[in-house]
Structure 1
C-alpha cells in the first residue's frame, strides 16, 4: 500500500493541507508517498488572477481553518491581478524536483507551495526551483536542467492523466492505493489524526 497525494501547486487548499501532509508522512515513514500534480489552471483556465475574484477571501478562510501562511511577498505578487497561475509550469517544476529525490516528493511539493504562497515566487520561473533545490540540499543545476528539458513535459502531462484515472476531481485529495483498491483518506482538508483513523479503518 502507498499514499497518493493529488494536488495542484497553485491551489490554496492544497497549500492549507501541507501541514497535514507533512505530519502524515512523518508518522508513516514506511509508507511510500506518490505526489501527482492535478492540473488546475491549464488551457483556458490559465488567465490573470484577477479573473478569479474569490482568491483573497478564499485564502483568508484557508488560513483561518488550516493555519496556513500567506506571506507578504505573495500578496505583493498578486496585488495588481495580472499574475497568471500556470499549472503546466508548476507540474514541470514538481516533476523536476521529484525526479531528483522521489522519496522526498511530499516534502518538495509543500516546499514548492511555500515558494509561491509565502515567498511570492512564480512557479513558471526556473529560479524558483533552483532555490527550492538548494534549500533541500539537491543538485540545483540538475533540477533546473530537468525543468527545462522537453521530456519533463511528458511527466507533467502523465500526472494530469493519472489524476483523472484515479477519479480525482478536486484538490487536494489524499488516497491510500493498494493494488486496484483506492481508498480516499482526505479531500479538501483533514487533520493528521483524521487521516490516521481512516488509514487504520482501511
Structure 2
C-alpha cells in the first residue's frame, strides 16, 4: 500500500535540510528526521531517498528565485527592469546562500528543469522589451544578453555569498551592467539612470 504524501511534511523536510546546510550540520537520513517525530521512511515517502531530497533542495532554490522575480513589476523602462532582476538574483542568493550553492550542484538532477529555465526567461523578456523599444540594437539577441546579465550577477554573488570577497564587491554591479547595456546600444546617460533605478529601487 502506497504511503500518503503530505505537502506539509515535504516542506518541513526541505526547510530542515536547508537549515542544516546553513548551520553546517551533516545531513543523513537519521539526522534529518531527528526531533521531528517522523521516521526515516518519511524521506523515502516524499523523496524516494536522499538523492531525491537533494533534487528537491536544488529545485527549492529555483522556486524561491522565481518567487523573488515575480515581485519585480514590469515598468515602461525595460533596462531598469532587467537591472532589477539581476539585483533580485543577488538578494535571493545572499538570503539563501546554502540553497544558492546547491542550485548549481549538478551532481543531482533538477525535479523540474522547465521551471528552472523559466527563471532565466524573466531576464530574456526584459531584454526583448528593451530591444523592442530601441534601447538595444535591433540585432541584439535577448537570450544572449539575458545570459550575460545572469553571468554578471552570478559571478558577483558567488564571490560574496560563499566566497572570499566582502559585500562591497557587489557595488561593481551597476558599472558592469551599464557597460554591458551600452555595448548593446543603450545611450550611456540614459542607461546609467535606468541601472541606478533598478539596482537601488526607491
TM-score by length of 2: 0.29
Higher fraction of strand: 1
Larger Rg belongs to: 2
Structure ranking higher on relative contact order (CA contacts 8 Å, 6+ apart): 1
> TM-score if structure 1 supplies the norm length?
0.29
